[in-house]
């Protein structure tokens, strides 16, 4: 299990394959990724690498973080992300990583924060069909309908799909295929949609399911 990378969602585009079929692409930009710290099984109880991305002024850091970067002898980073790794995949602190960490044709999992939609009703949030447009229904055409029984069970069950806060959640999209890599600009082109708005940070790592298939588990 290798470390992943932090990237910034640049935007979306599309391409056509040899059959003339159009498919969606998401562009992810990897820049200034660097190994900031190591966590070992002996000290922390698990193996992991802390990857930093981007640059930030030291004046914007807290005193503990200033000391952290000074000890590692690394320029301060905007974003830090910890990735679990296997025992044979440690990388030296200070090593820079780029888009070539991945390969074209490889499958990856991408994690990000979905776009927040605020408070949404049942039709928008859960795809409910709504009530009838006629036959006695007035005012409440977009309501969700009944939320529970009467005396039995006498309550609304937990996890009932209702109106509420929509989006702004941590989402992972699995098995996205890398269809191209621009080495000069550090852009990874992924087939499919990735959570988050343009300019948001996402985390890319090797596909967990594909690793299991290769290991036979």
Contact residues for 93 (Cβ-Cβ < 8 A; gap 6+): 35, 36, 37, 38, 72, 74
For residue 205, the tally of other CB atoms under 10 A from its CB is 21
Nearest by Cα to 2 from 44, 34, 58, 47: 47
Q: Which fold has domain 5-117+169-215?
A: Elongation Factor Tu (Ef-tu); domain 3 (2.40.30)
- Rounded Cα distance between 89 and 140, Å, is 58
Instruction: Report the relative pairing of strands 48-53 and 79-84 from DSSP bridges.
Output: antiparallel
- Rounded Cα distance between 15 and 22, Å, is 6
Handedness of CA 154, 159, 161, 162 (dihedral sign): positive
**Which residue ranges make up each domain of the chain?**
5-117+169-215, 118-166
Report cis status (omega within 30 of 0) of the bond before 197: no
Mapping DSSP onto H, E and C, the string for 32-55 reads: CEEEEEEECCCCCCCCEEEEEECC
Q: Tens of pLDDT along the chain (217 residues)?
A: 888 899 999 999 998 888 888 989 999 999 888 888 888 888 888 999 999 888 888 888 889 988 888 888 888 888 889 999 888 888 888 888 888 888 988 999 999 999 999 999 999 999 999 899 888 888 889 999 888 878 888 888 999 999 999 999 999 999 999 998 988 888 999 999 999 999 999 999 998 887 777 766 6
pLDDT the model gives residue 217:
61
- Rounded Cα distance between 40 and 48, Å, is 7
pLDDT the model gives residue 195:
92
pTM: 0.83
Report cis status (omega within 30 of 0) of the bond before 153: yes
For the chain, how many residues are written?
Answer: 217
């Amino acid at each position: 299990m290798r470390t992943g990378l932090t990237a910034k969602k640049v935007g979306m585009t599309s391409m056509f394959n040899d059959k003339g079929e159009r498919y969606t692409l998401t562009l992810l930009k990897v820049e200034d990724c660097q190994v900031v710290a190591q966590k070992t099984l002996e000290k922390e109880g698990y193996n992991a690498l802390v990857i930093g991305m981007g640059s930030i002024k030291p004046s914007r850091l807290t005193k503990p973080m200033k000391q952290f970067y000074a000890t590692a002898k690394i320029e301060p980073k905007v974003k830090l992300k910890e990735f679990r790794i296997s025992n044979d995949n440690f990388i030296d602190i200070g090593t820079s990583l780029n888009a070539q960490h991945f390969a074209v044709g490889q499958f990856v999992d991408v994690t990000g924060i979905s776009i927040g939609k605020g408070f949404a009703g049942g039709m928008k949030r859960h795809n409910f069909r709504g009530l009838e447009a006629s036959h006695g229904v007035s005012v409440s055409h977009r309501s969700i309908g009944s939320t529970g029984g009467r005396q039995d069970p006498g309550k609304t069950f937990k996890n009932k799909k209702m109106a509420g806060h929509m989006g702004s959640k941590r989402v992972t999209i699995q098995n996205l295929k890398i269809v191209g890599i621009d080495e000069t600009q550090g852009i990874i082109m992924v087939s499919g949609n990735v959570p988050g708005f343009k300019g948001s940070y996402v985390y890319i790592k090797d596909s967990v399911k594909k690793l299991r298939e290769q290991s036979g588990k």
